[in-house]
Amino acid sequence: MRYWLTYTLFIFPFISFAQNKLITGSVVVDEGNDYISSVSGARIENLTSESKTYTSPSGYYSIQANVGDTILFEADFLIPRKIVINQNIYNKGFLQAHLDIETIELSGATIGKGPLQPKYHTDNKTDLYDKMGLDQRLRDLEPKRDIAKFKPMDVLNPVRLIGHMNGFYREQRRVRNYETKLSLVQEVKHYYPTDFYTNQLQIPEYKIEEFLYYVNARYPLQEKVLSRQFGTIMIDLESYAKDYLNELNQNKNQ
The structure's pTM equals 0.42
**At 47, which amino acid appears?**
L
Confidence band for 202, pLDDT divided at 50, 70 and 90: very high
Question: Do 221 and 234 touch, CB atoms closer than 8 A?
Answer: no
**Would you state the pLDDT for residue 46?**
94
More confident residue, 100 or 126: 100
pLDDT (0 to 100) of residue 70: 94
* Superfamily (CATH) of domain 21-99: Carboxypeptidase-like, regulatory domain (2.60.40.1120)
Domain ranges of the chain: 21-99, 118-166, 170-253
How many other CB atoms are there within 10 angstroms of residue 173's CB atom? 14
CA dist 161 → 106, 144, 150 (Å) = 18, 11, 8
pLDDT tens column, 133-162: 555 555 554 444 444 444 544 444 454 544
d(CA 55, CA 198): 33
Query: pLDDT: is 203 or 18 the higher one?
Result: 203
pLDDT given at position 94:
87
DSSP classification of residue 59: S
Coil, strand or helix: which one is 117? Answer: coil
Q: If you average pLDDT over every residue of the chain, what do you get?
A: 72
